[in-house]
Structure 1
Amino acid sequence: MAAAKGAEDVDISTLSLEDPEVSVRFSVKFDSTFGQRVILSGPAERLGNYDPSKAVALDYEHPSRWCQTVKFRLPLALAAPAGDCAAAATDFAEDGNGTVLEYKFAIVDDRDGGSTTWELGAARTLALAPGAAAESPTLPIAPLVVAQAEFRSASDLPRDVFCSSAFTDVVFRREPADRVSAAVRSARDASAVAAAMVAGHGAMAVRFVVFAPRVVAGDTVCVAGDHAALGGGTVAAAVPLDDTELPYWTGTVALPPGTTDFAYHFVIRRPASGGGGDVERVVSEAPYSRRFSLLEGDVAAVRGVGGGHTAIVSPPSDLSFVYPRPWKGSGVAVPVFSLRSPSGCGVGEFVDLEAMVDLCVASGWQMLQLLPVNDTTAYGDYRDSYPYSAVSSFALHPQYIHLPSVAQLQGDLAAEYEAEAARLNALPEIDYVDVMAVKMRFLCRLYASEKEEVLQSRAFLDWFGANQGWAVPYALFRFLAHINGSCEFDGWGARAAMTPAEMEALAAPDTFHFDHIGLALFTQFHLHRQLQAASAYASRHSVVFKGDLPIGVNRYCADTWQHPELFRLRMQAGAPPDFFSTAGQNWLFPTYDWTAMAADGYGWWRTRLGHMATYFHAYRIDHILGFFRIWEIPHSFLTGMAGRFRPVHGIPKAELEALGLWDMDRYTRPYVREGFLYDAFGGRGGEVKDRFFVHLFHDRLGFRPEFDTERKLAAALRPEEAGADGAFIKDVRKELVKLLNNVVLLADVEEEGVYHPRFGLERTSSFAELPSEEWKGALRRLYHDYFFVRQEALWRSSGLAKLPVIQAASKMMVCGEDLGMIPACVPDVLDETSIMGLRVQRMPEGDIEFGTPAKYPYATVCTTSSHDTSTLRAWWEEQDHSAKARYWSGIMRRSDAPPPTATGALVRAVVEDHLVSPSMWTVLPLQDWLGMDEALRRPVATEEQINDPGDPHHIWRFRLHLSVRALLEKKALTAQWAGMSTKAGRGPPY
């Protein structure tokens, strides 16, 4: 092997604590083959700054073991009272608590020109001073550190998930006051090092680090071994580790000279119930299942430490406690707006979430999943009820504010509010427009009476200081939309675009219109306090708040107004034709300009997720496939049929011609024959032909220029204005839109001479009536290649460019809605980026009818239904008898006849089947939990569905038919729910 680049021979015997240097012997296990070598690099000059050509090369010392010793110069301040630390600045990162070395290993393969493959997972950290950062094995200063490791060739998604705030701050939270402090931990480490020094030449201090996230308060992780220093096999004498750096447990043990090999394992113990200092084992790994061993080079290095010092050896810090079974949790999904409370005002409010947390605790659920809660007030009508069309990715929706918590209502104002709240609460569904009118009316009055005190308070000023980057543009957007009568900022004249300085001046407190700005800020401040209080309440009760990250934003919103350069405003995001909609979906959101977003490291996304983490411990990425490729629809279309994926490798005209496909006019022009119109409209076919078409040749027709786009047709055909002929006009519009999309190829709207296969082209009459079987065969092969082969590498790189940044932007647990037409690269990318997938039984992966919960992967969230589907009860009643029979026998493994209706017993059986699945989380809509109680659930199953994605004009107004407090009183039901989760092994830590 070649000499190590950057390595230095170290005369360890000459080192002293007065000489601020430390030698680190890196030892990594990797089963290499001839032609492979291992390198080490990191963001330090000594380690090559992650440049493989400047990295440290490791030597092959032993089968499967690569080693190298590197000398680092510590900051002088760590070893002497004063000194110039500049020399060490390139070697270490100062984290405020200590000196941390960051690094990763990589494999260089000389067989293919020196390609470099970095190990998976986060960068490793080695802390070489007391008080180190989290997840770092903390090592007191020593002249030699032996850092053992195993090359990470596979991702460790469960580890990353358990490192998220959902677990560290909620499910397995330990109060800071009950944890070992950094000072105590450092003193213990120093004591162990001192004991090793006293033991004599060749002794060492072994630093154990184990990842053990599932430890309840009061329990302690210990290391036990067959060596006397590790208890000699007695659990009571095992060495307790410190929980300073949760979810990692650390501890240093002095071992006498001559120790080179011993067996050990980890155990979790707690004080015995009888007291008296006794302990009991709670859960243990297999006894002596781990092995500590030193190579000859390690032994020589340890023995080489002289001058009254000792070496510190750190076994692999990737070690994870081996539990007897994987942890699993359960939860409930419910939109905030659907909650019902006697103290509310016609809609669910943030303060109602505390009662939902209580319901979770009583029902044995560890997660409360919500829909988006951002402000969507763009148009001032029922369109604003759509929670996925935000006018700000940061601002919260005013409908969720609890007015009595803003300020105490007095006298006539209180009576007026109570009357309005009682009226709105009596409605079976949400009247969105009425609720918003009432809440804004009272907010204006509360603002007038409270603004002086609130806007000058320290709490408000602190909030404003942390949020003004988005809050000022948002407040101005609301104000300008109000005075212009529209949120469509294209028509705001000089205010259509503003610089930050102009925004600051326009929002100044001394302007005559400031109360419009102040009201928006006042409202957001109180919404923040109410949601934050609910989130803190959930954390204290070990319930994870899971939010929802919409894939898009409203075309006219504060984000697109403030940062137009980040969006493709002439394009629209949507979905191709699918289970939900045969015409596809057009969400009307602009697509993202990912190139512009990448220029500053996706700063908008990082800021957005950092803000979201203020309230949530986990989140669902809506339509995560959009981070790989988005279905992009040109502005002239209203449906999703004429979309194409972006990014995408289009098909050049030369490639088509090489396949014998030369007639671009035939492939791209809407294929309309005169007979189509008479088939569709009978005797009125001639009327439709004369108004909308021109004759081309034979019986072929072409659309008139004034009707040749979907938007033009929509403008010309308004059923609501057609009186008695409205139904016919509606049918005409629907049929003509289908004919506009009756093509087999789409010309790219931005790149001339490039084409895309029309999605589902074989189902069109244009394809069916192609005159050549050769053309049909070529198009079939091209279609398969385009959608399932040629894009995979592009989409993989697209996902990997964005998702690691998204995942690392916060400590929240990340789940992805990976449903629909899933590229083959998606599962691997989600695994590599530690993002959990979603499983919905009626929308399975592959060519099968139903998903089988028993076969779901562990790193998934499984559910019976979602806000975009019918509930479990309604779905069952939609199925014909044969489908029910296949499900009942094939999935539920039952030999009797399936129930014709969704009885409570059937719902319970299906829920239990999901609970016992291997998925880490089973999170079901509240309607499906309620479905097993025939006396409590709604009489009509179809009334339980939240959204109809096939209806672009759907109004989101679903509301629970009983209050959360009323549910809490159903103790037999909540006990039943809790028992079902416990029986399925969901909830218990061990």
Structure 2
Amino acid sequence: MTRRRRAGVLLHVSSLPGKLGIGDLGPEAYAFIDQLAKAKQSVWQILPLGPTGYGDSPYQCYSAFAGNPLFVSPEMLIEDGLLSEAVVKESRRFAAGTIDFEKLTPIRMEWLKEAFTAFQGRKQKKLTAAFEEFCATEKRWLDEFALFMALRDQWPDRSWVDWPEKLRSRDKRALTEARKEFADGILFHQFVQFQFARQWNDLHAFARARDIEIMGDAPIFVSHESSDVWANQDQFDLGANGRPLKVAGVPPDYFSSTGQHWGNPQYRWDRMEADGFQWWIRRMEASLKFVDLIRLDHFRGFEAYWEIPASAPTAATGKWMPGPREKLFHAMQKALGSLPIIAEDLGVITAPVRKLRDDFGFPGMRVLQFGFGGDDDIHRPHFYVQNSVAYTGTHDNDTTVGWFNAEPGKTTTMSLKAVQAERRMVLDYLNTTAEEIHWGLIRGVHSSVSDLAVVPVQDILGLGSEARMNTPGTSSGNWRWRLRPGQLKSEPLSRLARMTTLYDRAPDTPPPTGK
């Protein structure tokens, strides 16, 4: 198979600029794709697209199938005649930059309700027919999700485990009655998902027309507070009351001395295997409708996962348990064909994990920031392999400038001596300066042998820790960074284009002829 070197940029949809509080699928998304094309990029990497719940995290969503209502563009709804242009004037209510989820969520949901009311009143035949077709096509997950969200609207401060018993345990008669009682709420959430899918599909087609693939992100685990768990309770390790018995996380590592206690319920892999992993097949099939490539988060958990008692205060109390391994991927391949998966193989990676990845030909990840502070030398470019994706850093890392300037004892647990040694090695290895450190790392991944090099927008702009997207192990203050209007200027994009071309990663570069 002919291999092609490519380059991409990491920026979540929420981090796009705009006037209405959060990045969405409107004009700024189209403008960003045009910027990527001019910068000779071939891939736009995003985070999970689902409706966020706890902590506003895209890794804790109400559904693994649904889209985030906050990403539905009000400007596109105005074009469809479903919202008044006066909405755009509401921009004065939102500050540029940081996302204020608490403030914007009720406002944007109110706009969606206004659009829904207009949709019901106007009875546009073409739009109504498209909506009905969408509901029929996506019925299997959409009906359960819309009911789940309508019930959450009824009891917004309750977990589903605290709903009336017959709804919690999914008594058939109770569900039938709920579908009648909350029919309007169900229809509203179906409408929102219809609008999300419609807007996303248009944007995706726009990207494809410019030869840009979108790399999505599929978390291995799903939120307990989700329609997925509520509707498929037998597939998760839950007690009779619906509460998790064992939860997910990772042991102590680079990011946290006590590990990460994610709290997601563990799967009952034995039951999933018994029905041929149907839930996973449907999930991956749904994801591939939205994106071209999938970064499969926490890949090592498919070989063995860290199981934590639900009552444990930290992730330090846990043990490794065998995952579904090759059986899951064989089942998905049989149902879906070739799987365009990138394995997020960071953390405690063993020989069996590497074998599972390599047996299916999945590219792994290399993160240049990890290559200098210890013995993890696989993250230094001279040890990279072709079948990999090279990053300066990920959404879980500090920005490159923030990482390089980390203050010992405060923003890093490393000693002053260790930090100084790491900085000297970085500058020597990359033959760069402290002032140009972000471009030094960008050059490092672009010049590597990896088939794909991906750079967060924050590194292209040389931003510091104030632009960090997420700090693992913390539960608040994350996921709020976004570009300011006009911040991504032509000069850094032109420099990125030159570097992409120099290292044979531009779309119009012939594939390498060497062996």
SS at match of 1:553: coil
Q: How many angstroms does 1:830 deviate by?
A: 1.0
Q: 1:500 to 1:532 in 2, by over 3 A?
A: farther
Q: How many angstroms does 1:857 deviate by?
A: 0.6
Alignment of 1:331 with 2:8, yes or no, is yes
2:202 aligned residue? 533
Q: How many angstroms does 1:550 deviate by?
A: 0.7
Aligned with residue 385 of structure 2, among 857, 875, 878:
857
Distance 2:332 2:375 in 1: 31
Aligned with residue 439 of structure 1, among 108, 120, 131:
108
Alignment of 1:472 with 2:472, yes or no, is no
1:581 aligned residue? 256
- 8 Å CA contact 1:376, 1:387 repeated in 2: yes
Q: How many angstroms does 1:384 deviate by?
A: 4.2
1:18 aligned residue? none
SS at match of 2:188: helix
2:465 aligned residue? 942
SS at match of 2:325: helix
Q: How many angstroms does 1:862 deviate by?
A: 0.5
1:623 aligned residue? 298
- 8 Å CA contact 2:298, 2:346 repeated in 1: yes
Distance 1:826 1:412 in 2: 50
Q: How many angstroms does 1:583 deviate by?
A: 0.9
- 8 Å CA contact 1:375, 1:392 repeated in 2: yes
- 8 Å CA contact 1:807, 1:814 repeated in 2: no
Amino acid aligned to 1:355: A
1:922 aligned residue? 453
Q: How many residues of Structure 1 are paired with residues of Structure 2 in the alignment?
A: 486
Q: 1:974 to 1:909 in 2, by over 3 A?
A: same
Q: How many angstroms does 1:350 deviate by?
A: 1.7
**Aligned 1:202-217 pairs, distance under 5 A:** none
Q: How many angstroms does 1:390 deviate by?
A: 1.2
Q: How many angstroms does 1:443 deviate by?
A: 1.2
Q: How many angstroms does 1:419 deviate by?
A: 3.3
**Aligned 1:163-182 pairs, distance under 5 A:** none
SS at match of 1:588: strand
Q: How many angstroms does 1:824 deviate by?
A: 1.1
SS at match of 1:923: strand
Alignment of 1:912 with 2:431, yes or no, is no
Aligned with residue 491 of structure 1, among 137, 162, 165:
162
Q: 1:572 to 1:848 in 2, by over 3 A?
A: closer
Amino acid aligned to 2:182: H
Q: In angstroms, what is the RMSD of aligned CA positions?
A: 2.4
- 8 Å CA contact 1:860, 1:921 repeated in 2: yes
- 8 Å CA contact 1:855, 1:918 repeated in 2: no
Q: How many angstroms does 1:374 deviate by?
A: 0.4
SS at match of 1:589: strand
Amino acid aligned to 1:803: F
Q: How many angstroms does 1:906 deviate by?
A: 3.1
Aligned with residue 805 of structure 1, among 319, 331, 334:
331
2:420 aligned residue? 881
Q: 1:408 to 1:354 in 2, by over 3 A?
A: closer
2:498 aligned residue? 979
Distance 2:475 2:82 in 1: 44
**Is the strand fraction higher in 1 or 2?**
1
Distance 1:630 1:501 in 2: 37
Distance 1:916 1:522 in 2: 46
- 8 Å CA contact 2:51, 2:61 repeated in 1: yes
2:65 aligned residue? 394
Q: Tell me: higher relative CO, structure 1 or 2? Use CA pairs within 8 A at least 6 residues apart.
A: 2
Alignment of 1:953 with 2:479, yes or no, is no
SS at match of 1:985: coil
**Is the helix fraction higher in 1 or 2?**
2
SS at match of 2:266: strand
Alignment of 1:614 with 2:289, yes or no, is yes
Amino acid aligned to 2:106: A
Amino acid aligned to 1:483: Q
Distance 1:528 1:832 in 2: 34
Aligned with residue 603 of structure 1, among 266, 270, 278:
278
Amino acid aligned to 1:527: F
2:369 aligned residue? 842
- 8 Å CA contact 2:378, 2:384 repeated in 1: no
2:415 aligned residue? none
Q: How many angstroms does 1:545 deviate by?
A: 0.5
Q: How many angstroms does 1:418 deviate by?
A: 2.6
Amino acid aligned to 1:494: K
Aligned with residue 829 of structure 1, among 353, 356, 369:
356
Q: How many angstroms does 1:515 deviate by?
A: 1.3
Q: How many angstroms does 1:490 deviate by?
A: 1.7
Distance 2:34 2:438 in 1: 24
Amino acid aligned to 2:367: V
Q: How many angstroms does 1:600 deviate by?
A: 1.6
Alignment of 1:514 with 2:191, yes or no, is no
- 8 Å CA contact 1:807, 1:835 repeated in 2: no
Q: 1:814 to 1:848 in 2, by over 3 A?
A: closer
Unaligned runs of 5+ in 1: 1-158, 160-213, 215-325, 378-382, 648-794, 932-937
Distance 2:220 2:326 in 1: 17
- 8 Å CA contact 1:399, 1:439 repeated in 2: yes
Distance 1:816 1:593 in 2: 22
**Aligned 1:117-196 pairs, distance under 5 A:** 159=1
TM-score by length of 1: 0.47
Q: How many angstroms does 1:961 deviate by?
A: 2.8
Alignment of 1:867 with 2:395, yes or no, is yes
**Aligned 1:416-455 pairs, distance under 5 A:** 417-424=87-94, 426-452=95-121, 453=123
- 8 Å CA contact 2:51, 2:62 repeated in 1: yes
Alignment of 1:366 with 2:35, yes or no, is no
Distance 1:412 1:371 in 2: 28
- 8 Å CA contact 1:617, 1:812 repeated in 2: no
**Aligned 1:139-288 pairs, distance under 5 A:** 159=1
Distance 1:373 1:984 in 2: 31
Q: 1:454 to 1:608 in 2, by over 3 A?
A: farther
SS at match of 1:839: strand
Q: How many angstroms does 1:556 deviate by?
A: 1.9
Alignment of 1:590 with 2:265, yes or no, is yes
Q: 1:480 to 1:414 in 2, by over 3 A?
A: same
Alignment of 1:559 with 2:228, yes or no, is yes
- 8 Å CA contact 2:99, 2:481 repeated in 1: yes
- 8 Å CA contact 1:850, 1:887 repeated in 2: no
- 8 Å CA contact 1:574, 1:588 repeated in 2: yes
1:93 aligned residue? none
Q: How many angstroms does 1:930 deviate by?
A: 1.8
TM-score by length of 2: 0.89
Q: 1:414 to 1:801 in 2, by over 3 A?
A: same
Distance 2:339 2:205 in 1: 15
1:180 aligned residue? none
Distance 2:158 2:63 in 1: 12
Distance 1:594 1:850 in 2: 31
- 8 Å CA contact 1:868, 1:947 repeated in 2: yes
2:193 aligned residue? 524
- 8 Å CA contact 2:83, 2:118 repeated in 1: no
- 8 Å CA contact 2:261, 2:473 repeated in 1: no
- 8 Å CA contact 1:454, 1:460 repeated in 2: no
Amino acid aligned to 2:93: R
